[in-house]
Structure 1
Amino acid sequence: MDKVTAYRDLKAEIEAVVAGETSTTARYATAACLLAQAFQPRYFWTGFYLVDPLKPRELVIGPYQGTLGCLRIPFGRGVCGHVAETEMPIIVPDVHAFPGHIACDAASNSEIVVPVFDPAGKLAAVLDVDSTDYDAFDEIDEAGLVAICQVILTA
């Protein structure tokens, strides 16, 4: 199965599983699990950093699959903080070359981060996917993950 088809099928599966679920934690946990399972071993770490309602300029670790993640990331810092600040997805072929990269796990070599918006269009979280491979992500991954992130909180 090619990646385009894999992402399309996974989006439909995630939509079906979370449809009607009122818990955002359950929605994020389901998406992280299904994404990690579908793309392992290329996906080394898969999870969400949530906008902290008590500290709205910080991300706090949410549901994830993988090794220990950073607990908090300020907006504007590292790859996840950059996406929280800009609200735009990013592909980083070599995280060690990214200015201000936060090394939560030294095994990560490339990363893709995608914003997640609530139904009102406000930033709710970022989806962070890391790989031990360099240059592991491309525009197909970005389009697939953006499509999935559009339905996580709205299905």
Structure 2
Amino acid sequence: MPFQKLKPEIKSIIENENLSIDHRLSQVCEILKENIPYYDWVGFYFKNGDKNELKLRSFAGEPTDHIIIPFGKGICGQVAVSNKNFVVPDVKTQNNYIACSINVKAEIVVPLFLNDENIGQIDIDSHTADPFSKEDEEFLEWVNARVAEVLKV
């Protein structure tokens, strides 16, 4: 796993105050997609103001129609309500799944907390069946913690 090798690069991007937050988030998505072979789509969704919905802010991969996701809908919407990581080894087994692409076989969504509030999440789709491990979860929690640090300011 390239996780440990990616950490300094991600930290450097996130801490680069010369770039907008959105630019930094997009770069993080690109780095993850390009360096982890089974990360085929990577995106950050955030709570959309006072609405009970998520809005896509940055991503790397194929464009998606799912810019807005209501709380409770799909894997992302369920994480917005549960505040817990959701790893789906096989998306075909999920009744409440929103298909972004016919190629997606697995998905992982990890909530992003700021001041103990779930304000968003990182969402990763994979064209590989059952690729995600505990190491993926821990790494993505680390990424989200770094992102939360720059959102505080």
Q: TM-score, normalised by structure 2?
A: 0.88
1:132 aligns with 2:127: yes
1:26 aligned residue:
23
Q: 1:78 aligns with which of 74, 77, 96?
A: 74
Q: How much is the aligned-residue C-alpha RMSD, in angstroms?
A: 1.6
CA distance in 2, matches of 1:31, 1:153: 13
CA distance in 2, matches of 1:106, 1:133: 12
Which stretches in structure 2 are left out of the alignment for 5+ residues? none
Q: 2:59 aligns with which of 48, 59, 64?
A: 64
1:53 aligned residue:
49
**TM-aligned CA deviation for residue 90 of structure 1:** 1.3
Q: 1:149 aligns with which of 144, 147, 151?
A: 144
The DSSP-based 3-state class of the residue aligned with 1:153 is helix
The aligned amino acid for 2:46 is L
Kindly indicate whether the alpha-carbon contact (under 8 Å) linking 1:27 and 1:153 is maintained by their aligned counterparts in 2: no
The DSSP-based 3-state class of the residue aligned with 1:152 is helix
The DSSP-based 3-state class of the residue aligned with 1:107 is coil
The aligned amino acid for 1:141 is D
CA distance in 1, matches of 2:89, 2:67: 23
The DSSP-based 3-state class of the residue aligned with 2:149 is coil
**TM-aligned CA deviation for residue 54 of structure 1:** 4.4
Bigger CA drift: 96-105 or 19-28? 19-28
Which stretches in structure 1 are left out of the alignment for 5+ residues? none
**TM-aligned CA deviation for residue 129 of structure 1:** 0.6
The DSSP-based 3-state class of the residue aligned with 1:154 is helix
1:117 aligns with 2:118: no
The aligned amino acid for 1:48 is F
Count of residue correspondences: 148
CA distance in 2, matches of 1:144, 1:16: 16
The DSSP-based 3-state class of the residue aligned with 1:91 is strand
1:102 aligns with 2:98: yes
Kindly indicate whether the alpha-carbon contact (under 8 Å) linking 2:14 and 2:25 is maintained by their aligned counterparts in 1: no
